[in-house]
Amino acid sequence: MHSKAPWSLKIAAGLGLAFLHLPILLIFVYAFTTEEKSYQWPPPDFTLKWFGVAWERSDVWEALTLSVKVASISTLIALVLGTLCAAAVSRTRFFGRETISLLVILPIALPGIITGIALRSAFNLAEIPFSFWTIVLGHATFCIVVVYNNAVARFRRLSGSLIEASMDLGANSFQTFRYVILPNIATALLAGGMLAFALSFDEVIVTTFTAGQQSTLPIWMLEELVRPRQRPVTNVVAVMVVLMTLLPIIAAYYLTRDGEHSAGQGK
């Protein structure tokens, strides 16, 4: 109950945590400042007007809609392909299975800049014009990994005889998927999907290489930082981004934790 750690260690740990999280707090604070040209500390006064300003600005809305669309569609693609891939790798044995498993995970291990350059030159070579869909493709590469990783772990815990039992009791492949496989992997898919959404939503590097004229929300924020006017609008948007990405990640954490908790009871 009583820790024996010396005070110096406790203070060091406290400072470390403060270093990590105070800057995030600053972003929140600056969203309410009355000073719009530079980040002055302490803020001269507080106001809610930037929320109104941000609300009125169409470029914010365009960037936000684009980001939500890209994240949603990338996540959807990832859910379908990631699940199928996980099912193939965990349920069957075939030549090159390990290699495929590695190749699927690779995009998340590779630096984003490599993925970005590779995709950009590939799109150029294939003469595909940069558009909404090239951003989606770029994001799908790493969204699939997240879904795949979650699904493959769950598939491994799913006993193969459950599927045979379902078939034995008269269910065809579709019914087996609907009534046995899906309920057993649903939380893993939800968690994977939420992580994928959050990853896509704040992605900058791959997006810079695969976007045309469009700006997703993070790109818009980068551009906005160099503008001298209405700086707190960026902070307002940052607060929204934090909320939009943090909430799904927290939800995903709790969903998978519950999943692991109940997994041991199946046997």
Partner 1 sequence: MTTPTAVLFEQVSRHFDQVKAVDGVNLSIQEGEFFAMLGPSGSGKTTCLRLIAGFEQPSAGHIEIFGERVEGVPPYRRQVNTVFQDYALFPHLNILDNVAYGLMIRGMDKKARHQAAENALALVELKGFSRRKPAQLSGGQRQRVALARALVNQPKVLLLDEPLGALDLKLREQMQEELKALQKQLGITFVFVTHDQGEALSMADRIAVFNQGKIIQVDTPQALYRHPNSPFVANFVGSSNVLSPIFMQSLGLPVRWASLRPEDIQVVQTGGYSATLLSRSYMGSANRVQLILNDQPLQALVPHHIPLPADHSSVQIAWQPSNLHLMESA
- Please report, as ranges, the residues that interact with partner 1 according to CB under 8 A: 159, 161-162, 164-172, 175, 179-180, 183-184, 262, 265-266
C-beta of 88: minimal distance to partner 1 in Å? 19
Q: How many residues does the chain have?
A: 267
Angle among Cα 85, 157, 166 to the nearest 5 degrees reads: 80
Angstrom distance (rounded) from CA 52 to CA 188: 38
C-beta of 176: minimal distance to partner 1 in Å? 8
Nearer to partner 1 by Cβ, of 83 and 166: the residue is: 166
Nearer to partner 1 by Cβ, of 163 and 204: the residue is: 163
C-beta of 251: minimal distance to partner 1 in Å? 20
Angstrom distance (rounded) from CA 92 to CA 100: 13
Nearer to partner 1 by Cβ, of 40 and 172: the residue is: 172
C-beta of 254: minimal distance to partner 1 in Å? 18
Phi and psi torsions of 255, nearest 5°: -65, -45
Nearer to partner 1 by Cβ, of 53 and 162: the residue is: 162
Angstrom distance (rounded) from CA 228 to CA 39: 11
Q: Which amino acid is at 44?
A: P
Q: Which two tokens stand for residue 2?
A: 């009583």
C-beta of 173: minimal distance to partner 1 in Å? 9
Nearer to partner 1 by Cβ, of 56 and 164: the residue is: 164
Q: Which two tokens stand for residue 177?
A: 């998927």
